[in-house]
Amino acid sequence: MLFALTAPAFLSVLASCTTESTSPVVFREGGLPPIEGANSRWNATDCGQCVWNDCANDRARCAAEPECGRWLDCVSACPSADGQPAPSCLSECAGDAGSSVAIESRDGVARCLLDAQNGCAGCPTRYSTPILNEVCTTATSLDGTETYDPVKDPCGHCVGTVCCGTRRACAASPECVALSLCEFDCKGVDACLDNCRAVHPDGLPLRRETLACALVKCSPQCGAKVDACQDCAYRRCADVLFTCLSDATCQVLWTCMSACTNQACQEACLAQSAAGADKMGAWAECIQASCPGCR
């Protein structure tokens, strides 16, 4: 047996994984939000107030820059989502990039808001995989010449803001950049993709990490239809899925099974890519334990 779950259970769990709006409230920097609607606002929760206070110095630097100050006012009014500002609200707050100083100040606040959660009671547990905790307030292309608009290009914007460190590492690697451009030109043709990877093998590790982060964190924004089961699986089992997708054999198996519409297809994938079954099985076990809606 390759995994603790029986094969049928393993397959059934994987197969099952086939906005709230709020009115903005005016907020004055330096003060607590008004009592009205406090329960729905991110920085009015126990976690939010603790993090907000811990990041006072970063917020003060941000408030001194007009563009950053406007962004901070917007973020302070965002509703809560798992102890953090709701992602959809953060995207709406992004607006224009502003000056380089404003961007640096915004990124500083964003990093602090994320890092401070480790020491604040009531905050959700962060991912154990550092890559999945990345955050930037401005999404730019690999070469830095283009800023992704959250409305016109939600996929590029999402990947650029929550997988930013990984993408920067790729951008600093000539082989990762060459592989990325080569794969982009393939338009999804498998033979072409295989050739790109054979020609640029040194770019594979960073490229694989970038794609894994994008899949785990940005599937809905990049066009995937994500139901309640999948949403839970991506959020609560993100570390396990990232481990799978960062491994060549597990990534092949995951890609194969993702295209299946029946159990016979999934069993064929397992037979062809058995080497990745342990890591894939770990993800299935996490889903079964953490996502009741997938059982």
Has residue 48 been placed in a domain? yes
Instruction: Return the pLDDT at 97.
Output: 54
- Are 110 and 59 contained in the same domain? yes
- Are 5 and 83 contained in the same domain? no
Range of the domain at 236: 1-18+227-295
State which of 100, 126, 152 marks the end of a domain.
Answer: 126
Instruction: Return the pLDDT at 16.
Output: 45
pLDDT per residue as tens digits for the range 150-209: 778 888 888 888 888 888 888 889 999 999 999 989 987 889 998 999 999 999 999 999
- Are 7 and 79 contained in the same domain? no
Has residue 203 been placed in a domain? no
Bridge partner list, 10: none
DSSP H helical ranges for 64-203 = 66-76, 87-94, 100-115, 154-162, 164-171, 174-186, 190-199
Instruction: Return the pLDDT at 40.
Output: 65
- Are 46 and 97 contained in the same domain? yes
Q: How far is CA 186 from CA 150, 156, 194, 214, in A?
A: 25, 18, 10, 19
Phi, psi of 147 (to 5 degrees): -105, 125
- Are 5 and 50 contained in the same domain? no
For 126-144, give the DSSP string.
Answer: PPSSGGGG---SS-B-TTS
Query: What count of other Cβ atoms lies within 10 Å of the Cβ of residue 155?
Result: 17
Phi, psi of 80 (to 5 degrees): -85, 140
Domain count, the chain: 2
Instruction: Return the SS3 of 37.
Output: coil
- Are 6 and 74 contained in the same domain? no
| Lookup: tokens for 3 | 């995994």
Instruction: Identify the segments of the chain with pLDDT beneath 70.
Output: 1-40, 82-83, 87-88, 91, 94-98, 115, 117-119, 121-122, 124-126, 142-145, 295
State which of 126, 158, 178 marks the end of a domain.
Answer: 126
Has residue 33 been placed in a domain? no
Buried b (16+ CB within 10 A) or exposed e, 98-132: beeebbbbbbbbbbbbbbbbeebeebeeeeebebb
Has residue 91 been placed in a domain? yes
Has residue 59 been placed in a domain? yes
Q: How far is CA 284 from CA 5, 246, 276, in A?
A: 8, 16, 13
- Are 241 and 290 contained in the same domain? yes
Q: How many CA atoms lie within 13 A of 17 on its CB side?
A: 27
Has residue 90 been placed in a domain? yes
Q: Which of 59, 58, 88 is nearest to 72 (CA)?
A: 59
State which of 126, 147, 181 marks the end of a domain.
Answer: 126
- Are 14 and 45 contained in the same domain? no
On whether the CB atoms of residues 176 and 143 are closer than 8 A, the answer is no
- Are 231 and 283 contained in the same domain? yes
Instruction: Return the pLDDT at 175.
Output: 95
Instruction: Return the pLDDT at 24.
Output: 30
Has residue 154 been placed in a domain? no
Instruction: Return the SS3 of 41.
Output: strand
Q: Which of 34, 138, 30, 48 is nearest to 85 (CA)?
A: 48
Has residue 183 been placed in a domain? no
- Are 13 and 56 contained in the same domain? no
- Are 42 and 122 contained in the same domain? yes
